[in-house]
Amino acid sequence: MMLNPVLRRELKTRLRTWKSSILIMLYLLVLVGVGGLFLAANTLNSYMRGFNPQDAITIYVLLAGFQLGLVMLIAPALTAGSISGERERQTLDLILITKMSPFSIVMGKLAASLSHMILLIVASLPIFSLVFLYGGVSLWNVVVMFCFFLLTALFLGSLGLFCSTFFKRTTVSTVVAFMLVLALSVGSLIVLALLHRFSYGIWQKPLSYEHTLWIVGVNPFIGFLSVVGDQVGFEAIFSILNMHNNPNKITIQPWQVNIIFDLVLSFIFIMLSIWRIRPVQGRVKKSKTKKSEKVKNDLEEGSKEGVV
C-alpha cells in the first residue's frame, strides 16, 4: 500500500528533528510531575490516616485532565502552520502543481500532525498504569478516555488546519486557532450562564436539559467531565450547570453530543480546507496557461518578423 507522499515527507522531517524528542520529553515530564507529586502527597497522608481508595480515582481524573489540557494546547499548534508554513517557505506552489489532489494534500498534513499527537498520547500510557496500582479504574475506562482524546485531537487539528489555509502567516493562524479553542471552551460556558439568567428572568425556570446539552456539547471540557462522570460518578459539574434538570429522562450524555460535534465539525473544517487550497491550484494552472500562451505568441511574432 502506497503511503501518502505528504504524510511520508512530514513524518521523516518531523521525527528526525530534535524538536520532536524535546516535545515528547516535556509532555511526559509534565504528566509525570503532576502524577508524581500527587502520588507522593498521597503516600505521605496514607501513613497518617490510612489508604483511601478514592485517591486512585483522584489521580486518574487529575492525570486525564492534564492530558486533555495538553492535547488542547498542542493539537492546534501542530496543524496551524501546515499550509501557511508551506506558503511562507514558498513551497506551496510546488506541492500544488504535482499530481496530488487537494484532498490528498490536506489529509496528508492532517494525518502527519495527528500521528504526532497519537505518539504523545500512546507514550503517556505507562504513566496512567500508576492508577492500576490502587484499583478503582478499569482498563476499559482508560481506553474510552484515550479514544475521547483522539477525537478531540482530530477536531482541534482540523480546526488548526483550516486556520492555516485561511491565513497566510503561521503566527496569525496559530493565534486565531487558539482564540477559537478558547471561545469553544470558555465562551460556551459564558453563553450558557447568560441564557440561564435570561431564562430565569423570562420564564422563572432554568434552561431545559436538551437546550443545555446542545450549548455545552461542543465544549471539550464538558465532554471530558461527562466521560469521567460516567466512569467514576463525578456528577457535581452537572449540578452546577443545571444539567440535572432532565424531566424527559433523555439518555444521551454530553460526551456523546461532544463526539457528534467533533466528527461533524472536523468534516466541515477538512472540506473547507480542501476548498481553500483548490482555488490556489486553479490560479497556478491558469497562470501557467497564460505564460505558455504568451511565450507562444512571442515565438509566432518573432517568426513573422524573421520572415519579413
Do residues 113 and 294 touch, judged by C-beta distance below 8 A? no
Q: What percent of the chain has pLDDT over 90?
A: 12
User: Hey, what amino acid is at 189?
Assistant: L
Query: How far apart are alpha carbons 63 and 59 in whole angstroms?
Result: 6
Query: How far apart are alpha carbons 103 and 105 in whole angstroms?
Result: 5
Whether 199 shows a pLDDT value over 60: the answer reads yes
Whether 213 shows a pLDDT value over 80: the answer reads no
Do residues 192 and 212 touch, judged by C-beta distance below 8 A? yes
Query: How far apart are alpha carbons 205 and 103 in whole angstroms?
Result: 48
Q: State the chain's mean pLDDT as an integer.
A: 77
pTM: 0.79
Do residues 210 and 180 touch, judged by C-beta distance below 8 A? no
Position 300 scores a pLDDT of: 58
CA distances from 140 to 74, 94, 145, 274 (A): 25, 46, 9, 36
Is 300 or 108 the better-scoring residue by pLDDT? 108
Average pLDDT over residues 155-159: 92
Is 236 or 61 the better-scoring residue by pLDDT? 61
Position 258 scores a pLDDT of: 87
Residue 9: how many CA atoms within 13 Å on its side-chain side? 9
For residue range 15-28, list pLDDT tens digits in order. Answer: 677 777 888 888 88
Whether 281 shows a pLDDT value over 50: the answer reads no
Whether 105 shows a pLDDT value over 70: the answer reads yes
Confidence of residue 288 (pLDDT cuts 50, 70, 90): very low
CA distances from 291 to 278, 279, 284, 294, 295 (A): 20, 18, 11, 5, 6
Is 205 or 214 the better-scoring residue by pLDDT? 214
Per DSSP, the residues of 189-209 read HHHHHHHHHHHHHHHSSPPPH
